[in-house]
A and B are shown apart, each in its own frame.
Chain A
Amino acid sequence: ELKVEQNPLFLSMQEGKNYTIYCNYSTTSDRLYWYRQDPGKSLESLFVLLSNGAVKQEGRLMASLDTKARLSTLHITAAVHDLSATYFCAVDPYGGATNKLIFGTGTLLAVQP
């Protein structure tokens, strides 16, 4: 069974601190996506990672992909309150043959002033 697991499930951090969210998946995939969801809202695409070693950065967020380890990370630098949200990773298994994404469990990030 394909599994996509995120760690931690809940993260409370202070403004200005750094932290990393981890996304592990159980099947071969060279495509991984990160999404953000604000409470009661829809999902917003953050990053698309398409190959081993891919790194993307936007503001205080940086995502990377290691397909050999089946691991992606989302690194938060100098957190601010506006980053508080739930973050999901999603895997596109089978090389995109089925064109469907499997989502992780989500990480609820709360940035405290």
Chain B
Amino acid sequence: DGGITQSPKYLFRKEGQNVTLSCEQNLNHDAMYWYRQDPGQGLRLIYYSQIVNDFQKGDIAEGYSVSREKKESFPLTVTSAQKNPTAFYLCASRARDRGPLSSPLHFGNGTRLTVT
């Protein structure tokens, strides 16, 4: 079955360390996204990529970096510059829109990052 795999499920890091969250999809989707969710809040867009080797900043990109070297993979690095990195991180992918058709985002199961 196709889907999105995020790893690890839980991640603990010391303050000042960079950490990379993995996201792999086998849905053959062109677009991939990273969202951040804080307790009791909605989702905020960090970065997104519509095609390999190209990505755009979302609303809260500061302190994060991404790469898109392969269609299937969109890793997110949380750098030491991110002031409040503890959160639930969700990766998503989406098929390219075809005229009047539109597909929803498909989400991975998320990575819960705790930085102390």
Give every chain A residue within 8 A of B110 (Cβ-Cβ): 41-42
Contacts A31-B102, A45-B104, A100-B45 known; 6 new A-B pairs at CB < 8 A: A43-B107, A88-B42, A88-B43, A96-B97, A100-B48, A103-B44
Give every chain A residue within 8 A of B100 (Cβ-Cβ): 50
Q: Which residue of A lies closest to B49 (CB)?
A: A99
Interface residues on B, range: 20 to 34
**A99 with B48: in contact, given A42-B107, A45-B105, A48-B104 (CB under 8 Å)?**
yes
Give every chain B residue within 8 A of A92 (Cβ-Cβ): 102
Among B40, B43, B109, the most chain A Cβ lie within 10 Å of the Cβ of: B43
Query: Which residue numbers of B lie inside 8 Å of A, CB to CB?
Result: 31, 33, 35, 40-45, 48, 50, 56, 58, 90, 92, 94, 96-97, 100-110
Query: Is B109 touching A41 in the complex (CB atoms < 8 A)?
Result: yes
Size of the A side of the interface (Cβ < 8 Å), in residues, is 24
Q: Among the listed A96, A99, A106, which residue makes an inter-chain contact with B42, where contact means beta carbons less than 8 Å apart?
A: A106
A112 shortest CB reach to chain B, Å: 20
Q: Which residue of A lies closest to B30 (CB)?
A: A99
